[in-house]
Amino acid sequence: MEALTDFGTVGSVAPSSRYLTEAMVRPLPLKRARIVVEVGPGTGVMTRALLEMIPFEATLLAFEINPRFSRYLKSNVPDSRLEIINASAETFRSEVHRHGHESVDAVVSSLALGLMPTHQREAFLSEVANLLDENGVFTQYQYIHSMQVNDGQLRRFDLVPLLRRYFRSVQRTMIWRNLPPAFVFVCKGPLGAESGEAQSPITAGSRSNSIGNKLDGFSGRSSLAFRLLGRFRWRPLF
């Protein structure tokens, strides 16, 4: 299984169920979308659902850092609206601008946020909040076990307080019919552009360059996370 051999770049342990996919895609404003971003498409379950719903003239940018998944998507999801970018999310800004847009209409993320170092997790969410249109929607799922690596220990990770630093509205739904069950977070009203509340500890003058530096290397360092789990001191997750 891909997740067992490369857990640092694979956020899920099994393909998303149709129930999880529907919960992630349904809240998005896709009917009139111009540009949509998916982070961590994997084998393309949500990618296909997005392509069924976006307009013919829209663009779907799929950021997939795992080269095996990138090759799979290119071979198995032929669609002129889909552009697969074999890179991590720090290239958000340059790719969106390259397509002639200053903002995006929706972002779908399958990243394992709990396994990302704090500063990289905050940098990612800050980038999403600053690129998302004021009427845009961000969806993120997280498995029910909600792991976070902190000082060599696995602890329960509550994503809601963090997301509320970047979005005015955060709604959480439990999807039981998935393996494993997962929470879906629907985030609206990005705070980054107008209030500055979504700024991570990055100075405004160097923000564009330092985002890449902060996120760069995440997959390389965290790819060892799953292999090292046996060394952690486990604590109850519930």
Q: What is the pLDDT of residue 182?
A: 95
Instruction: Note the pLDDT tens digit of each residue in 104-130.
Output: 999 999 999 988 888 889 989 999 999
Given a cut of 70, whether residue 103 has pLDDT beyond it is: yes
Report the amino acid identity of residue 185. Answer: F
User: Domains of the chain: which residue ranges?
Assistant: 2-234
Q: What is the pLDDT of residue 88?
A: 77
Instruction: Note the pLDDT tens digit of each residue in 199-223.
Output: 443 333 333 333 344 444 434 333 3
Q: What is the pLDDT of residue 236?
A: 37
- Assign 7 a pLDDT band (cuts: 50, 70, 90): very low
Secondary structure (DSSP) of 110-130: ---GGGS-HHHHHHHHHHHHH
**Whose CA is closest to 139, among 184, 173, 181?**
184
Provide the token pair at 23. Answer: 């919960």
Given a cut of 60, whether residue 186 has pLDDT beyond it is: yes
Given a cut of 50, whether residue 5 has pLDDT beyond it is: no
Instruction: Note the pLDDT tens digit of each residue in 148-165.
Output: 556 665 667 789 999 999
β-partners of residue 188 are 137, 169
Say what the pTM is: 0.76
Q: What is the pLDDT of residue 234?
A: 35
Given a cut of 60, whether residue 59 has pLDDT beyond it is: yes
- Assign 92 a pLDDT band (cuts: 50, 70, 90): confident
Instruction: Determine what percent of the chain is predicted with pLDDT higher than 70.
Output: 70
Assign a CATH topology to domain 2-234. Rossmann fold (3.40.50)
Given a cut of 90, whether residue 60 has pLDDT beyond it is: yes
Q: Please state whether beta strands 167-175 and 182-190 pair in parallel, antiparallel, or not at all (unpaired).
A: antiparallel
Sole residue written with tokens 């952690």: 232
